[in-house]
Amino acid sequence: MMKNDIERLLEGKKAVIFDVDGTLIDSMGVWEEVDRIYLTRHGKPMSEDLQRKLAGLSILQAADYFRNVIGIDDPPEKMLAEWNELAFEQYRHEIQMKPGAAKWLSLIEGKELPMAVATSNTRKLAMTALHAQDIEHYFRVIMTGEDVVKGKPDPFVYQEAARRLGVNPKNCLVFEDIPEGIQAGLSAGMTVCAVQDDFSDYQIEEKKKLAHYYINSFEDIFNNKVEVLA
């Protein structure tokens, strides 16, 4: 009998790890606006490719970029506080989950598979997003950009999430929306499912070349529309 997509994705898996922004929640557009306001406050222009250059960086690496490349002479702690302040209300009240994501989390919980978050965002905003969507209880481990020195595509955030879950990386399934995150999961030795996001649609072919699977939304999993890539 042919496997359905739920069975195919979870076969041999002992844990599932999720990126947050652009994967579980539709939030990537927030950061373009946050950066625009922040740079305007500091009298700096915003380059068209800024979001691409920041993609995957840990929040501390992003602070280094703003200091050393853009030339804003604030300590990282002050930058993080200002970014949190600019994004907080949108994360709390405006941002929505990706279609089918809540249903998928509930299904995984029902199968008693432990779950983790591995995000480049700040802990405050990650927890705000998870709390606002009432999904923080699903995750046994929450790794943020404040827990790592090197952001994605470095595999550490995924390796450490697996270690804290007590699961071999080869038995982990990752959901990611950008190439840097996909590369991080692959370098950690995990199976990776790429997720559609408007912010990274220009990278769709690169995402499909890297990942094992591709979904336009989590609803694809329930409708047997997962694209098998590798």
Looking at the structure, do residues 134 and 158 belong to the same domain, yes or no?
A: yes
CA distance 18 to 86: 24
Contact of 163 with 170, CB cutoff 8 Å: no
Find out whether 185 and 158 touch, Cβ atoms under 8 Å: yes
Domain boundary among 60, 79, 94: 94
The pLDDT, as a whole number, for residue 1 is 56
pLDDT, residue 171, reads 98
Query: Which residue range forms the structural domain that includes residue 156?
Result: 5-27+95-228
**pTM exceeds 0.85 for this model:** yes
Q: What is the pLDDT of residue 138?
A: 98
Between CA 26 and CA 38 the distance in angstroms is 21
Q: Which of 44, 70, 94 is the endpoint of a domain?
A: 94
Instruction: Quote the tokens at residue 77.
Output: 């702690």
The residue ranges of the chain whose pLDDT is under 70 are 1-2
Q: Please check whether residues 74 and 169 belong to one and the same domain.
A: no
Q: Omega before 45 cis (within 30°)?
A: no
Instruction: Look up residue 97 and give its DSSP letter.
Output: B
- Roughly what angle, to the nearest 10 degrees, separates helices 156-165 and 179-187? 50
Average pLDDT, the chain: 93
The structural domain count of the chain equals: 2
Calculate the alpha carbon distances from 200 to 21, 79, 179, 224, 227 in Å. Answer: 12, 25, 9, 23, 17
User: What is the CATH classification number for the domain harbouring 37?
Assistant: 1.10.150
pLDDT at 15: 98
The 8-class DSSP code of residue 114 comes to: -
Task: Provide the residue type at 105 as one letter.
Answer: L
**Whether residues 132 and 206 fall in one domain:** yes
